[in-house]
A and B are shown apart, each in its own frame.
Chain A
Amino acid sequence: MPLPRHILAPAFCRRQLGLSYAFMIGIMVYFATFAIAAEAVLSMTSFTWDKNMQSQVTIEIPAMDDEASTSQADRVTQILTALHALPGVGKATVMPDEETARLLKPWIGQPELLKELPVPTLIEVERKGHLPVTDIQKALKNIASDVRIEDHAAWIGGLAGLADGLSALAWLIIVLSGVTLVLAVGLLCRTIMATEHEAIALLHVMGADDGDIARHFQFHARHKALPAAFTGFGLAIVSAVPFLFLLRHFMDLFVMQAAHWLMLGVLILLAPLAAIGIAALTARFSALRLLREMP
């Protein structure tokens, strides 16, 4: 950059233009960081739900009366045998009593009451391929007609649909933030080109290349965007803490491994870096386009 760096600096500060620009960058990065984080979490969670739970079915076997001819244990054994005989069943395991008690605890409260209640037995079935629930119902009809079959794919499908909708919304916010940033930087360049017209025309007369002048726009746009973008990013991280605190009871839903958290960190860091890059490049190309209109 052969020209002094401060040749256009006052233009970026005049009438708080630089301050407005920095605020705008900070706000865009703030929203984009949230949107990227939400999109990444939803994508990874939705993928895990799809992968782990769509294939699962829970069979609920109501508790038998004491006078019944067949014991509950016999019924469970018969049902497990019938399930293992089905070609589409990968695994069928009885949920341990402790696990059932853990699931019921929020509703029952006192563990000793559970021993006196007719608690159903639960069997977790892992399907291979696309075994329809009706096939399981048919296979169990003659052994236990009163069983209830819970197909997880049904509710997971609804939840995954909601996640996809929210993901699309997050993408919309990311794209709109980017477009707004491009338009705002373009407008900033146009304003500076108008206020500094005489100085820029003078540089042209002295033989400045359009590229030389555009590089100054790029430099100042990047220089001002850098602290603003990281401030917006930092504020987004700080504001995420209360959200995570409020959502702590639902965190089990967001099944994410360590690698996912690492990926999330890298992805949200893209928000300030991309904002700085977009601002600098937009400033350069806007300036070049406007300079070509000058003699």
Chain B
Amino acid sequence: MDTMAYIAFGFYTIICLGGALWAVTRRSLVRAFAGLVTSLLGVAGLYFLLAAPFIGLMQILIYVGAVAVLIFFAIVITGASREAQERITTTKKKRCLAVLAGLIPASFLAMAITKYSLVTNNTPPQVSMEDLGRALLGPYGLVFELISVVLFAAMAGAVLLGFKRRQ
């Protein structure tokens, strides 16, 4: 059973990081978008493996369902898929600097994590959906209200920005 878990972990890791790599290296934005969706599904699989099925389902619902569709509509509306045809050359120096900028913080944090080990257990606890709901409406009620205000403000702002100004 343990080896099965490791195999599943490796599988989802490959989906996750492979999709992310695909998303940042493709020139065409539509292909990058496909990589992003693959990566998000891989993260959802990792959530399921971590015994957090509710978060995994929310990941699929919110990211793969809503945010991805939003990004796709933006690609379609702005015609970014057509613009991809013209080749934009990225200088080698810029590419090297981007690799460094991604690598340095990640490797620094990785060093910190591997050096200062925490007390860990390999069997994640189960948190029922009922407990999560009770916590959201009980001790963390204010956060729940605040996030709805933030979402409302974002929605209203998007509608306001989307209106065409009359000349």
Question: Do A and B associate with each other?
Answer: no
